Amino acid sequence: MTDNLSIENYEIVNDLLLVSFIDKSDAIIPLKTLREKCHCAACQGEKDALGNIYKGPDPVLTDMSFQLNGIKTVGYYGLQLYWKDGHNAGIFTGDLLKKLSE
Ligand SMILES: [Zn+2]
CATH of the domain at 76: 3.30.2020.30
Asked whether the predicted pLDDT for residue 11 surpasses 70, the reply is yes
Ligand 1 midpoint to CA 52 (Å): 19
Ligand 1 midpoint to CA 25 (Å): 26
Ligand 1 midpoint to CA 50 (Å): 23
2 falls within a domain: no
Asked whether the predicted pLDDT for residue 57 surpasses 80, the reply is no
For residues 80 and 71, what is the distance between their CA atoms, to the nearest angstrom? 6
Asked whether the predicted pLDDT for residue 99 surpasses 90, the reply is yes
1 falls within a domain: no
Residue 1: per-residue pLDDT: 45
Q: What's the structural domain count of the chain? A: 1
Ligand 1 midpoint to CA 31 (Å): 13
Contacts for 93 with CB less than 8 Å, ≥ 6 apart:
4, 5, 77, 78
Query: Which one has a higher pLDDT value, 21 or 102?
Result: 21
Q: Which domain holds residue 60?
A: 7-100
Ligand 1 midpoint to CA 100 (Å): 15
14 falls within a domain: yes
Please compute the mean of the pLDDT values over residues 38-45 and round it to a whole number. 87
